[in-house]
Amino acid sequence: MAGRATISLLDRYADYAGQDAIEQLRQLAQPLSGLKVVHVNSTRRGGGVAEILEKLVPLMQELGLDTTWEIIEGNEDFYTCTKSFHNALQGKAIRIPEALLRVYEETNGRNAEHLRPVLEGADFVFVHDPQPAPLLSHFSERRGKWIWRCHIDLSHPYRPVWKHLRQFVLGYDASIFSLEAFAPPMPHPVFIIPPSIDPLSEKNQPPTAEEVLRVLEKFGIDPGRPLILQVSRFDRFKDPLGVIQAYRLATQFVPSLQLVLAGGTASDDPEGEAVLREVREAAEGDPDIHVLSSGHYSDRTISALQTAADIVLQKSLREGFGLTVTEAMWKGKPVIGGNTGGIRLQVIDHRTGFLVDTPEGAAMRIRYLLYDRPRISQIGQNARELVRQSFLNTRHLREYLTLMVALAHGSADRIELG
């Protein structure tokens, strides 16, 4: 019997998400078959959006949707402006000069002309994040539904900047946010689609035992002693000092404990440097606290550290969704997470980890888990299963398809397909 020459991408995902989930995608996509779908963002490499689209686009194609991915291009001023947008929308008080705002709009105007043949006739256009948001205003004759996908936490925006951007997104047919808490009121339907991880990506594939040992050796971590880990930028909202405090409290009962704080600081974030200095001072003199701060660790190194850790912490005081939590859970680790934002959606107390409000709470849960080792693997298995069910990119894709069907059918609450 002749076997199939190649295994389809969908089939590869079936190994993780389950055949039933893949079959569901196929059926849901049937009424959308042949429709022209275009995703637009500002970069093909690097960053969470590109990472999502790298797989989402070929998966949509395989499901029979005529899907393409377009990039808008701009000069340095354009990216300076959109970087400021990004920071301001997440709450930083930044005044953006008029000249840069003009560049932002003109760049979108030029890109609109370039992309007109592709976008004008498309059935669905997904415009990702603020960079290409003004494109819509250049398509008064558009045929399809235009959706603004905001990947940013908009719960506490710097108001003047949001007010400026808002004028460009009000006219969309719908928008998508990652969590209810991120979504501002809009005159069109606002869909909630949480982020996801890609089980096929390098960072989510299990490292070999040798790889893990090599990484531990490189950083001087003892593989024979318990290890807790937080992977995060050095940012006050991630509370790295609280993690050190929790570690110190826990070492009174587990003296062999080791802590790794791995992350970097954004190059444009002077506060990050200050936080890193404070972390280094707090860790000084303790050889069992490893502060890895160069920010240039490969995905495989982080994956090895997550795999080696007994427990992963994400003791944030404020958090968007927290994809590092999802990644750790996918590696079968219990997560002790701050009781905030998207962490609450993933860490279910006593089931997939523990939610804590203080360093003392984190220390108590570290002690508890290290005392009751079988609980670590039991909770870790639960954590991986929750991610499998709810936070893989196949679920993300299903929700995009559902949204498209919903938009194609107007404002009905219940849509029965033939």
Partner 1 sequence: MVDFAVKDCTLAIVATGRRAQTLRELRDILRDVHPGCVYHHFWGTLLRPQFADREYNNDFATWCHHSLHDNRAAERLAVIDPAEYTDMESLRQELIEVIDERLDETELMLFARADQQFHFARSVIVVFDTHRRLARPAELVTALHELSVGSIFYHFIDARRRNPRGIDDFRAWLLGLGPKYRELCAVLAEVDPYFESLFALRDRLAELFAGHLGHRGRTEARTRAPGS
Which residues of the shown chain bind partner 1 in the complex (CB under 8 A)? Answer: 20-21, 23-24, 27-28, 30-31, 155, 177, 180-181, 183-186, 189-194, 318, 340-341, 345-346, 348, 351-352, 382, 386, 389-391, 398-399, 401-403, 405-406, 412-418
Nearer to partner 1, 292 or 401 (CB): 401
- Residues 6 or more apart in contact with residue 169 via CB below 8 angstroms: 133, 136, 148, 150, 175, 186
Angstrom distance (rounded) from CA 383 to CA 349 = 11
Read off the amino acid at residue 148.
Answer: W
Least distance in angstroms from the C-beta of 267 to partner 1: 29
* 401: helix, strand or coil: helix
Least distance in angstroms from the C-beta of 55 to partner 1: 19
Least distance in angstroms from the C-beta of 3 to partner 1: 22
Read off the amino acid at residue 165.
Answer: L
Half-sphere exposure of 24 (CA within 13 A, CB side): 15
Half-sphere exposure of 216 (CA within 13 A, CB side): 25
Nearer to partner 1, 191 or 354 (CB): 191
Residue 409 CB neighbour total at 10 angstroms: 13
Nearer to partner 1, 377 or 389 (CB): 389
Nearer to partner 1, 147 or 304 (CB): 147
Least distance in angstroms from the C-beta of 23 to partner 1: 7
Q: With left for phi above 0 and alpha for psi between -120 and 50, is residue 375 left, alpha or beta? A: alpha
Angstrom distance (rounded) from CA 100 to CA 268 = 18
Nearer to partner 1, 69 or 177 (CB): 177
Strands 311-314 and 227-231: parallel
Least distance in angstroms from the C-beta of 237 to partner 1: 12
Phi, psi of 225, rounded to the nearest 5 degrees: -120, 155
- Residues 6 or more apart in contact with residue 292 via CB below 8 angstroms: 219, 260, 261, 262, 263
Least distance in angstroms from the C-beta of 319 to partner 1: 9
Nearer to partner 1, 370 or 407 (CB): 407
Least distance in angstroms from the C-beta of 24 to partner 1: 5
**Residue 179 · residue 341 · CB < 8 Å:** yes
Strands 289-292 and 353-356: unpaired
Q: With left for phi above 0 and alpha for psi between -120 and 50, is residue 18 left, alpha or beta? A: left
Nearer to partner 1, 9 or 183 (CB): 183
Angstrom distance (rounded) from CA 230 to CA 67 = 38
**Adjacent-strand bridge partners of 34:** none
Nearer to partner 1, 57 or 186 (CB): 186
